[in-house]
Amino acid sequence: MIEVEHLHKSFQTRSGGLLRGQRRTVEAVRDVSFRVARGEVVGYLGPNGAGKSTTIKVLTGLLVPTSGRVEVGGLVPWRDRRRYVGRLGAVFGQRTTLWWDLPVRDSLDLLRDVYRVPPDRFRENLKAFTALLDLGPFLGTPARALSLGQRMRADLAAALLHDPDLLFLDEPTVGLDVVARERIRQFVAHVNAEREVTVLLTTHDLTDVERLARRVMIIDHGALLYDGNLPDLQARFGSARELVVDFEAPPADPRVPGLKLVSSEGPRVTYAFTGAAARPIALATAHAPVRDVTVREPDIEATIRRIYEGGLLGTVS
Amino acid sequence: MNAALLRWGLLGQAAGINARLYCAAARLSFRRQFAYPAATFWGLLTNLFFGALRVAVLLALFGLKPQVAGYTPADAVTYTGLTQAFLAAFSLFGWYDLMRTVHRGEIVTELLRPHSFLGFWMAQDAGRAAAQFLLRGVTILTLYALLWGLKLPEGAAGWGLTLLSAGLAWACGFAFRFLVNGAAFWSPDAVGIGRFAWALMGLACGFLMPLAFFPAWFQSLLAWTPFPSMMNSTVELWLGHVSGTQVLRVLGVQAAWTLVLLGLARLVLARGLRRLEVAGG
Amino acid sequence: MGRQGSRPLPALYLLRLYFRLLGAQIRSQLVYRTAFALDALAAALVTGAEFAAFVLVLPRFGALGGWTLGEVALLYGLAELAFVLMDLGFGGFDAPNLSAHVRSGSFSTFLLRPVPLPVQVFGSDFALRRLTRVVLAAGIVAYGVSRVDVAWSVGDVVLLAGSVLGMVAFFGGLFVVGGTLTFWTVESVEAMNVLTYGGRTLISYPMSIYGEWLRKTFTFLIPAAFLSYFPVLHVLGRPLPDGLPGWAAGLSPLVGPLLLAAAFAFWRVGVRRYHGTGS
């Protein structure tokens, strides 16, 4: 569906005055390559300014890259714009594509004409989305009067009315409460499964990624750092799992042969381990009388933060 | 509600007017005007171009006539230069700052400060007006003097009285602008009311044409309004069209309208704030 | 993916879509009734005050460089009528509006829709409140027509209609240029104002009052005199200045569209730049 090879994008920036200023070339994206298959959901992660939005802008045809090959569904995004964007849907969490002062229904109606959706298809889709996203209560409300969650639901419907093959979601859950987030994730998962829509998702909320994406790509400083699935990322770069043991009494010596000691505080001792928990638990319970045992899973967010900060990996694996 | 308590509580302090504070406000606002040299340059160019068109229209109206309604063609050129010079300082194209503060709700934080609201805004506007007059006004008058020739007030007394009148015209105009902006306390559509007011002000203060050129009935109608005090009076003093004790009368009328409008502005402000408090601002 | 090619969209569809977009604008603006009514009246008052000031002082002078009130009204009204019609149609290209669209990201939204960009920009800022100014301008023209000493022929009417058309295209072109410039810099906006609003005011009065070199500049360098001054001179049965032949009075519908075409060529350069920088 998406093929990107050796994508480069650099910008000329000028600092200082118009005449005396220094010209500088900033490389926003450096040699990025990846493929996305039809029907995949890919989480695209990276800190602000990493090159995420530049990549998305290239993929949506808004930006022409400096060099590299990009093909989406057999088309080059920035050539023949009209034909290309007719197959896209896009939702940007920060802004709406709806007409601000018009009822949602009127906006959707207008988009039907903009995308030339056949009337039957429009009716079917509207009915389906109204049910899935529970649009009914606010179809008659102007966009400006919607809550953020309602607006996002309406925008999702607006982005999918013309049956796009590819959906770009940029921070779709930003600023929403837990319930609203979950509703949007369920809808995206549904659309992906039922309609085979390929989804490229940028987000800062890792729960979005965990719930939706089998695959993540991490970009920083313009280069792709990781491309693979989430569990692998965890296995390779995550910190170890932790075993927290509450002994009946503070042990004379908290060290257990075969377990790595992390900390010891009175009767509570923490060990680090990798792999299955059965053996470490057996070792600990054999060491001294135990009251309680808990296994603490490593935090994905922390893992990714460590990737950004420490540069755990060179480039794409 | 809190705003109300604070305002009353602090009124005592505000009475002991802190002149230094107002000077600081004026100075800050004065300096801010120098921050956009590019905008100032293009603004000057636009001003000069429109001024040139106005001069052409006025001179064509005069044709071969040496004098009309007390104005010579040279007077008409000086009149145009003055109105174009006062344009920015007197905010003749409109001023919506207070409206914006009310509509955005920023006024609540301003009310928490221990000083007179009206006085603070007036000080700020004085700084802005002075900077605009020095930056644009003086430049424009210089250019007019070079391009077409400019009539100047006569003697130290002429300069002094004209400048006094210019100050009064600014104050009178400020009070009017403040008053119009006060509509924002009642209506979210105050911008439209403002546009009305500025269009009326442009016609009636002598910005579009010297008031002396208007038919007698229209002039006597305008004489009952504060608008001539907002600019036309100053222009006539500058041109020396008013002399002797008449000068004092003109200045007196300007001062009287300024006091009346400032009083009204205070009243509207007090009413508006009460309304804001009732609405839970 | 589907196999449909990107055939040019039918003109009728685009026209319908344009009017659908305008309809959306109009309904949005009518949501705020009071604000709309006030704005509509104020819009007319601003123009009205300017012309009223002129009307009120003219009796004291008799005429403007040999032009009677009716004659000036015809010239002034035509310029105002064309300018406000242009303002209605080309509002989306007006520099402040367009740069606001670029900043807010709605310009990228336009680019993400499978509709030609100009259609969407044309349909993006339709200020219905300006209709009152259209009415006022038409009234000034009507007054002028009733007061001038002309035996009206079909040719005269066609000439003046062509003049309005040419002016709409001419000033529309200036708006497009101004809007396009905001892809590079916003500081240029005030400079364009001299051309657009300054140009409108310039052609509202007989060019003869501006003196020789200014008039020649606006005839041969910037062909603004062809827009309305020459057509009106011709209708009034007066010779064109500088020994220009009579047919030069009919060039307005040529001059305007030429500038507009050049402006849209520049527009495409600007859009290409946008695609290069994304801002």
Average pLDDT of the residues in B226-237: 97
Nearest by CB to residue A110, choosing from C24, C104, C276, is C24
Q: Are residues A229 and A246 in the same domain?
A: no
pLDDT value at residue C139: 96
- Other C-beta atoms closer than 10 Å to the C-beta of A128 total 16
Q: What is the mean pLDDT of residues C135-147?
A: 96
Which of B187, B208, B215 is opposite residue C50, by nearest beta carbon? Answer: B208
In a domain, A121, yes or no: yes
Which residues are A247's β-sheet partners?
A290
- At residue B70, the pLDDT reads 94
Which contacts qualify for B137-144: CB closer than 8 Å, 24 or more apart?
A: B137/B85, B137/B86, B137/B88, B137/B89, B138/B85, B139/B44, B140/B44, B140/B47, B140/B48, B140/B51, B140/B81, B140/B84, B140/B85, B141/B81, B141/B82, B141/B85, B143/B48, B144/B51, B144/B77, B144/B78, B144/B80, B144/B81, B144/B84, B144/B85
The answer, yes or no, to whether residue C144 has pLDDT greater than 90, is yes
The tokens of A35 are what? 């493929």
What is the band of A47 on the pLDDT scale with cuts at 50, 70, 90?
confident
**Domain segments of chain B: what residues?**
2-278
Residue A103 lies in a domain: yes
Q: Chain B residues with CB-CB distance to C under 8 A?
A: 38-39, 42-43, 45-46, 49-50, 53, 56-57, 59-63, 65, 68-69, 187-189, 191-193, 195-196, 199-200, 202-203, 208-209, 213-215, 218
> pLDDT category, C186, cuts 50, 70, 90?
confident
Residues A101, A246 within the same domain: no
Nearest chain C residue (CA) to A112? C17
In terms of average pLDDT, the best of A75-84, C95-104, C226-235 is C226-235
- What is the mean pLDDT of the segment spanning A89-106? 91
What pLDDT does residue A168 have?
95
- The answer to whether the CB atoms of B187 and C58 lie below 8 A apart is no
- A145 and A253 in a common domain: no
Q: How far is A178 from chain C (nearest CA, A)?
A: 27
Lowest model confidence (mean pLDDT) among A2-6, A93-97, A147-151, B45-49? A93-97
Tell whether A3 lies on the interface with C, counting CB pairs under 8 A. no
Give chain C's mean pLDDT: 91
The proportion of chain A whose per-residue pLDDT surpasses 70, expressed as a percent, equals 94
Chain B CB within 8 Å of residue C201 CB: yes
Amino acid C7: pLDDT: 65
Nearest CA to B23 out of B150, B95, B155, B122 is that of: B122
Best residue in A101, A117, A167 to probe C by mutation, most C CBs within 10 Å?
A101
Interface contact B209-C54, CB threshold 8 A? yes
Q: Which residues contact C153 (CB under 8 A, 6 or more apart)?
A: none
Q: What is the mean pLDDT of residues B78-82?
A: 97
CA A258 to chain centre: 38
pLDDT of amino acid B14: 47
Question: What is the pLDDT, as a whole number, of residue A247?
Answer: 92
Among A95-104, C42-51, C137-146, name the most confident range. C137-146
Say if A309 falls within a structural domain: no
Is C53 in CB contact (< 8 Å) with chain B?
yes
Residue B102: both structure tokens together: 């009310």
pLDDT, residue A313, reads 52
Q: Is residue A149 part of a domain?
A: yes
Structure confidence at residue A157 (pLDDT): 96
- pLDDT of residue C2 exceeding 80: no
- Domain termination residue (choose one: A204, A235, A266): A235
Sheet holding A241-247, edge to edge: A260-265, A268-273, A241-247, A290-296
**Angstrom distance (rounded) from CA C224 to CA C199:** 8
Is the pLDDT assigned to residue B250 strictly greater than 50? yes
The closest of C214, C222, C220 to C256, measured between CA atoms, is C222
Written as one string, the DSSP assignment of A99-124 is -TTSBHHHHHHHHHHHHT--HHHHHH
- The pLDDT of residue A220: 87
* A308 within a domain of the structure (yes/no): no
A275 and A170, same structural domain? no
Q: Answer yes or no: is A7 within a domain.
A: no
Question: Is the model's pLDDT at C118 over the cut of 80?
Answer: yes
CA distance B253 to B255: 5
| pLDDT (average), residues A149-172 | 94
pLDDT of A17 higher than 80: no
Q: Best interface-test mutation with C: which of B62, B96, B196, B201 has the largest number of C CBs within 10 A?
A: B196
Residue A120 included in any domain:
yes
The whole-number pLDDT of residue A317 equals 40
DSSP-assigned states of every residue in A6-60: EEEEEEEEEES-TTTPEEEEEEEEEEEEEEE-TT-EEEEE--TTSSHHHHHHHHT
Same domain for A90 and A204: yes
Indicate the residue among A207, A235, A263 that finishes a domain: A235
Confidence category of residue B11, pLDDT binned at 50, 70, 90? very low
Given a cut of 60, is residue A311 above it in pLDDT? Answer: no
Token readout for B56 is 């052409």
pLDDT beyond 70 at A18: no
Query: What mean pLDDT is predicted for residues A215-237?
Result: 85
Same domain, A57 and A192: yes
Residues in chain B with CB shorter than 8 Å from the CB of C38 are 189, 191-193, 195-196
Q: Which residue of C has its CA nearest to A110?
A: C20
Q: Where are the domains of chain C?
A: 11-277
Q: Which residue did the predictor score with more confidence, B2 or A23?
A: A23
A88, A110: one domain:
yes
Residue A21: what pLDDT?
Answer: 57
Number of domains in chain A: 2
Q: To the nearest whole percent, how much of chain B has pLDDT over 90?
A: 69
A267 and A146 in a single domain? The answer is no
Mean pLDDT value across residues A122-149: 94
Predicted local confidence at residue A240, as pLDDT: 74
pLDDT at B281: 43
What mean pLDDT do residues B205-218 have? 96
Q: Does C35 touch chain A (CB under 8 A)?
A: no
Q: Cβ(A177)–Cβ(A98) under 8 Å?
A: no
State whether A209 and A247 are in the same domain. Answer: no
| Mean local confidence (pLDDT), A184-191 | 94
Residues 59-118 of A with CB under 8 A from C: 60-64, 73-75, 78, 80-83, 85-88, 90, 92, 94-95, 97, 99-102, 106, 110, 113-116
Range(s) of the domain holding residue A175: 37-61+74-235
* Predicted pLDDT of residue B17: 56
CB contact under 8 A, C106 and A95: yes
Give the mean pLDDT of chain B: 89
Res C55 pLDDT > 50:
yes
Residue A17, in any domain of the structure: no
pLDDT band at residue B31, thresholds of 50, 70 and 90? confident
The answer to whether residue C236 scores a pLDDT higher than 80 is yes
Question: Which of A33-42, A296-305, B254-263, C36-45 bottoms out in mean pLDDT, i.e. has the lowest?
Answer: A296-305
If asked whether residues A122 and A263 sit together in one domain, one would say no
Q: What is the ipTM of this complex?
A: 0.89
